[in-house]
Amino acid sequence: MITLQINGIKKQVDVDSETPLLWVLRDNLGITSVKYTCGIAECGICTVLIDGEAVRSCAIPVKDVGASEVTTVEGLTENHPVKVAWIEKQVPQCGYCQPGIMLQTVDFLSRQPDPTDEQIDDAMDDVICRCGSHPRLKNAIKMAAEISSKQGG
Ligand code: FES
Ligand code: FES
């Protein structure tokens, strides 16, 4: 039995310890906002936060998560700057990639609270949105940074 801390709640799962976190979240815990696409750590769509750091959940065995806090998009508060900006800027098209990209943004803004266009492009270069939402998400990231700064970080 493996114990995980997901969005502030302790969960126990009976799985092979080598199972990628992605499948434990989706298949064992029913958190289907975490999406499978490439399965080889290339697209960024399965991203979750582990202790606040963006991690590709398809590439980390569940045994390596340990007692760390895992955050999925459901773990963001209703007034989280990234959530507010995403809605305001109407970023998603099909929506499939968005939870992972939003979580990558949370990690990025925690390290780069006032990013330049170039820094945003660099940070989002390796997350793949097939619907071409990148221009909108760039605007949303700038807005999230502004909201965050007004909220005092
Ligand atoms: S599904 Fe994990 S990086 Fe693509
Ligand atoms: S919004 Fe459709 S893949 Fe990104």
43 lines ligand 2 (CB under 6 A): no
83 lines ligand 1 (CB under 6 A): no
Q: Which tens digits make up the pLDDT trace of 108-124?
A: 999 999 999 999 999 99
The long-range contacts involving 47-54, CB below 8 angstroms and separated by at least 24 positions, are 47/99, 47/100, 47/101, 47/103, 47/104, 47/127, 48/21, 48/72, 48/100, 48/103, 49/75, 49/103, 49/106, 49/107, 52/106, 52/107, 52/110, 53/107, 54/103, 54/104, 54/106, 54/107, 54/108
112 lines ligand 1 (CB under 6 A): no
Domains of the chain in sequence order: 2-75 (3.10.20.30), 81-150 (1.10.150.120)
Confidence of residue 152 (pLDDT cuts 50, 70, 90): confident
Distance 125 CA to ligand 2 centre (A): 14
| Residue 88 or residue 153, greater confidence | 88
pTM above 0.85, yes or no: yes
Q: Which tens digits make up the pLDDT trace of 15-57?
A: 999 999 999 999 999 999 999 999 999 999 999 999 999 999 9
Q: Atom 3, ligand 1: which residue's CA is nearest?
A: 41
